Amino acid sequence: MARGRKSGRWVQQHVNDFHVKLAIKEGYRSRAAFKLLEIQKKDKLVSSGMLVADLGAAPGGWSQIIADLVAPEGKVFSVDLTPISPIAGVTFLEGDIRDGSLCGKFDNFLKDAKLDVVVSDLSPDLTGIHQADQAKMQDLFQVAIDFIRFRLKPGGSFLVKVFQGVNIRQVRGTMETSFKKLVTRKPRASRSKSTEFYLLGKGFKGEASKT
């Protein structure tokens, strides 16, 4: 019963959420779209003609925005375990980026090209236990770092969601080693109770270190 009541409260809060209502009004697939829009406005992360990968893309809110930004000659490659409805200008791969066969398919799409930008909104199934959730998030961060290691071009940018916690210094250290510039972003669309924030690395040095 307690879990049901909690779930009911979450649903009620979600449907009454300002950014959820605004996403529906503006035709975006999720409230998360406003997180990327705010970062884009501040940091000019994506521009026309770029090759961009969107990790943890479902339901497609970020890919939807990026596809418009890179048009007409750019390309977006989206990856998620959960399928998404088609988006013009987006190539979607369903699966786990830890799967070698999926990464092989991705590399076949890229051919000899490298990505200008990788964005990762990957998030684990949350337990509500902060330490456990933070550890899961760090694992996903490492998965994303492994993905960009040989696919992001030197000078490229990487935006990744992380959780505040005891391991964040280690995560920051990896980003500082791998990029010339590192900034922190906490978009207004992030829920106030959430420990999530985003690290943006610019100027990829050509080799991502392990945490």
Q: Which are the catalytic amino acids?
A: 161
Contact 114, 153 (CB under 8 A): yes
Hey, what long-range contacts does 137-143 have (CB within 8 A, 24 or more apart)? 137/161, 137/162, 137/163, 137/165, 138/162, 138/167, 138/170, 138/171, 138/211, 141/171, 141/174, 141/211, 142/210, 142/211, 143/97, 143/98
- Tell me the C-alpha distance between 120 and 55, whole Å: 5
Q: In what order do the strands lie in the sheet with 115-120?
A: 90-94, 75-80, 51-55, 115-120, 152-163, 196-204, 179-185
Do residues 77 and 117 make contact, with C-beta atoms less than 8 angstroms apart?
no
How open is the CA angle 41-121-2, to the nearest 5 degrees? Answer: 120
